[in-house]
Structure formats: C-alpha cells, structure tokens
Amino acid sequence: MKLVSTPRTEFLRTLAAEILHNYGRGRTIIAIDGPDAGGRTAFGDDLAAVFREDELHVFRASLRYFQHSRAEQQRLAPDTPDHRYRVGYDYSALRRVLVEPFRMGGSTGFVTEEFDPDRDTWIQPTWQTAPADAILIIDGDYINRPELHGLWLYSVLLEGAAVNASDLRYHAEVHPRDVVSAVVDTTDPEAPRRVLTDRC
C-alpha cells in the first residue's frame, strides 16, 4: 500500500532506494542508531513501511528486547552513569537467536524479541522464518559499537536529540559518525535531512 507523500516519507523513500541499489538481494540487516529511543523506533518503523510499499519482506527488532536482566546487570557491574553502555545488553543472545539465523537464510528460524525489560522477564519465543530476499531493521542504543558494527550491511545514525553519560562515552570511544553508512539530522522529525560527513 502506498503511503501518503510527505517530506519524511520522500526522504525515507530515497534512503530505501539507496539501500536496495546496494543490497537488493539476499538477507539485508539495517541498523538504526541514535540517542532518542522513540525517534529510533519511529524511524525504523517508517522505513519498514516504505520498503513494504514495494511488497518487500521486512522484519523489525530492537535491542531493547535483548537486555540483560536487572540481576545480571547488577552482577556484571555496579550502578554507574554509563551502566547501560557497559553491561545493559545481551549481545550473545542477539547473535544467537536473531542475527545469525536470519543471515543464514533458508528455513532457519529466528526470534525478534527475547527479554521484556519492563517486566524483567524472558519472553516466550516466537520463531519466524523469511524468504531468500528479506530485510531486518533493528534499532538500539550503541548499535555500532565494535562488537556489533560488522553485523550490519547498512547503518543510520540519527542526530538531533539530547545525549546522556552513556551516549557521551559511546561517542568518545566508538565515533559512530565515522562508521555508519548515513548520518541523518532529525531535529525536525517531519523533515529529516542527510548530513554530509568528511569521510571519503
């Protein structure tokens, strides 16, 4: 179904066309980075909707549902301003039940949610499969840190929101602007714009 044309939709269509031009076959994983959780989720959802205009198979996930339990976080490290950055997420589980099986293709099943951080409990797994050509869009905090960046074929960094202590550490250590495929200014979420960087 075609979406109503707005500046935001047209921007996302242009971005989607770029991604499809480079990664139009097989299993493609796109990462959405940035400090604003709500903004990341909305951007990922809207990008998925644009891909679906062309009847592509698109799946959505978020690092939010691959966190360690509160008890495990406390075991791994005491509370600090950058606690979430240091020990908040279970990257092993993310690879094991989502990224690796999705990338394998075929009839291999994958799970897009494993842990509910609000209830601090595991989610009963719902296994999904996908056709040979499929797109997974995943958003999350610190999603381009070194142990994850190589998993994505394309990544977007959303800028324009306030940052906290964990974000500052992430930017100081990782410099996500230097590793992502696209930097997008979302100060006005209804009219995002591409930011040109000095990378070449």
* pLDDT tens sequence across 141-154: 999 999 999 999 99
pTM listed for this prediction = 0.94
154: its two tokens: 């394309």
Nearest Cα to Cα of residue 40 among 28, 53, 30 = 30
Spans in the chain with pLDDT lower than 50:
200
In a domain, 10, yes or no: no
Q: What is the mean pLDDT of the chain?
A: 93
Q: What percent of the chain has pLDDT over 90?
A: 82
In a domain, 12, yes or no: no
The CA dihedral of 69, 156, 125, 70, to the nearest 10 degrees, is: 0
In a domain, 35, yes or no: yes
- How much is the pLDDT for 200? 45
In a domain, 18, yes or no: no
Q: Indicate which CATH number applies to the domain containing 77.
A: 3.40.50.300
Nearest Cα to Cα of residue 149 among 78, 74, 99, 84 = 99
In a domain, 16, yes or no: no
- Overall number of domains in the chain: 1
In a domain, 177, yes or no: yes
- How much is the pLDDT for 105? 84
Task: List the domain range (segments joined by +) for residue 39.
Answer: 23-195
pLDDT one-digit tens code per residue, 104-117? 988 899 999 999 99
